[in-house]
Amino acid sequence: MRIAVAGGTGLTGTHVVEIARRRGHEAIPLSRHGGVDLVSGAGLPQALVGADTIIDVSNVNSMKTDVSVSFFAGATRNMLSSGQRAGVTHHIALTIVGADAVSEGYYAGKLSQERAIEASAVPWTILRSTQFHEFAALMYEIARAGPLHAAPRARIQPIAVREVAEHLVTLAESGPGGRVSELAGPREESLAAMVRAYARAIGHRGWMPEVSLPGALGRAQRNGALLPAPGATLGTQTFAEWLDALPDR
Ligand SMILES: NC(=O)c1ccc[n+]([C@@H]2O[C@H](COP(=O)([O-])OP(=O)(O)OC[C@H]3O[C@@H](n4cnc5c(N)ncnc54)[C@H](OP(=O)(O)O)[C@@H]3O)[C@@H](O)[C@H]2O)c1
């Protein structure tokens, strides 16, 4: 199968490309670095020639509603229309558990992505996953004021990105499935404890106060709205195992 991997050079996309190739597929990474802009559409029709399937793991790192909606809705519509013209028969998108639980910021973009796909004539699969274990590292970097790093309160059920990528390639092999069961890690964790454990693992020795993140996202994170629904498919690698496997620093 010829699979175009939108965002194929990113955290998830690198694994998807490697796994798809290992399973005998032709995987074509799409990224600006490789000459394809999903938002303007530049280079997209050429990159999709001969593709059967698109796996979309592209991303914009913004908490601003307008930036997130404009990226995810715009890139998705471009992929769907260029894909339809190129004969793509399966569009797969990775979105996020709780995409409809928070109506602003990054999550608004993920919901606009899902709606664009549902309205499309191209057969599709939408997979929602929980945050990756790497979310602890991201929070360590973001939740800080100068040298003081904070530990944000949240209930999450993090998963290994490698397991998400394996699942996406299996979904490509299975054909269009609509909304498939959510994917989450093996158990619920405290984000504050994860961020502190990550900080210790990379040699941070300072005091880290526990904080509540503001706004609708902070509330949803604390009250469990971003946890998977019953019946979710569960991965196997725990956060502690991911931490143990980090390269020595
Ligand atoms: N991280 C999590 O915890 C988590 C949890 C659940 C779901 N997800 C979803 O997983 C997906 C992948 O996230 P990630 O963290 O793996 O992404 P990432 O590491 O930030 O990678 C983003 C990819 O998108 C490409 N890209 C960005 N803008 C582009 C544009 N205009 N045109 C073409 N390519 C563009 C980037 O390449 P260039 O910069 O070269 O263009 C890169 O390959 C996202 O949709 C996210 O919502 C993430």
Residue range 112-160, pLDDT digits in tens: 999 999 999 999 999 999 999 999 999 999 999 999 999 999 999 999 9
How do strand 155-156 and strand 26-30 relate by DSSP bridges? unpaired
Ligand 1 centre distance from Cα of residue 8 (Å): 8
Percent of the chain with pLDDT over 90: 94
Report DSSP letters for 20-78, one per residue: HHHTT-EEEEE-TTTT--TTT-TTHHHHTTT-SEEEE--------HHHHHHHHHHHHHH
Ligand 1: does its nearest atom lie under 6 Å from the Cβ of 228?
no
pLDDT digits (tens, 9 = 90+) for 195-208: 999 999 999 999 99
Choose one of 5, 12, 15, 56 to mutate for the ligand 1 pocket test, by most ligand atoms within 8 angstroms of C-beta: 12
Indicate if the pLDDT at residue 248 is higher than 90: no
Ligand 1 centre distance from Cα of residue 11 (Å): 7
How do strand 210-211 and strand 151-152 relate by DSSP bridges? parallel
Q: What is the arithmetic mean of pLDDT over 210-239?
A: 93
CATH architecture observed for domain 2-244: 3-Layer(aba) Sandwich (3.40)
The Cα–Cα gap between 152 and 191 comes to: 6
Q: H or E stretch including 234?
A: strand 233-234
Report the mean per-residue pLDDT for the chain.
96
pLDDT on residue 249:
66
Helices first, then strands: H and E counts in the chain: 9, 14
The Cα–Cα gap between 94 and 115 comes to: 13
Indicate if the pLDDT at residue 209 is higher than 70: yes
Indicate if the pLDDT at residue 181 is higher than 90: yes
In the chain, where the domains are located = 2-244
Ligand 1: does its nearest atom lie under 6 Å from the Cβ of 39?
yes
Counting atoms of ligand 1 from 1, which one is nearest the CA of 33? 40
Ligand 1: does its nearest atom lie under 6 Å from the Cβ of 10?
yes
